[in-house]
């Protein structure tokens, strides 16, 4: 299901997303050219997760307004409520492994922490299946978790509405 950028068929150029990507309404899904060679962008009609992409080659024709269009969207997985991802106290933030709006399953690594700036890595795991709605502001490599996140809450995993 995609929003039609034109009434006629388009000729495929490139996908802008990959299978498993979370997209929000209006995000670009793919680009194609119309009969006059003008580049058109097909956008997501709703929030969702890309579940399938037709194996189109450059210049393959397609009709973006058909229900069985080149991109299939599914519901965004998620908990019924927002769930915080917690860091261990007395640790140093190293990096986020995922990005906001990435789909995650319970147990996926979303960030790395350490006890110091050395090589020890402590993984922060997603507490639920869903989408990373936000990360705590101010977290950057080398920052003491206790200073930026006194409650140890470094991310929110939840469900985005369709």
All domains of the chain in start order, with CATH: 10-74 (2.40.50.100), 83-158 (2.40.50.100)
| 25-57 tens-digit pLDDT | 888 999 999 989 999 999 988 888 899 999 999
Q: What is the mean pLDDT of residues 19-25?
A: 83
User: Whole-model pTM?
Assistant: 0.59
**Backbone region of residue 154 per phi and psi (left: phi > 0; alpha: psi in -120 to 50; beta: other values):** alpha
* Cα-Cα end-to-end distance for the chain: 13
Pairing mode, if any, of strands 122-125 and 28-33?
unpaired
Pairing mode, if any, of strands 71-74 and 48-53?
antiparallel
| 103-148 tens-digit pLDDT | 788 899 999 999 876 678 999 999 988 889 899 998 999 999 998 8
């Amino acid at each position: 299901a995609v929003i039609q950028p034109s009434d006629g068929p388009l000729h495929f150029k490139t996908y802008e997303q990959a299978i498993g990507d979370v997209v929000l309404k209006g995000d670009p899904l793919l680009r194609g050219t119309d009969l006059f060679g003008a580049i058109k962008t097909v956008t997501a009609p709703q929030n969702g997760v890309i579940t399938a992409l037709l194996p189109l080659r450059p210049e393959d024709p397609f009709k973006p307004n058909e229900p069985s269009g080149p991109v299939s969207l599914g519901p965004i997985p998620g908990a019924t409520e927002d769930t915080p991802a917690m860091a261990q106290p007395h640790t140093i933030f190293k990096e986020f492994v995922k990005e906001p709006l990435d789909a995650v399953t319970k147990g996926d690594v979303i960030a790395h922490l350490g006890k110091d700036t050395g090589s020890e890595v402590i993984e922060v795991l997603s507490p639920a299946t869903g989408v990373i709605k936000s990360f705590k502001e101010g977290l950057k490599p080398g920052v003491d978790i206790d200073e930026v996140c006194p409650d140890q809450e470094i991310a929110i995993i939840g469900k985005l509405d369709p």
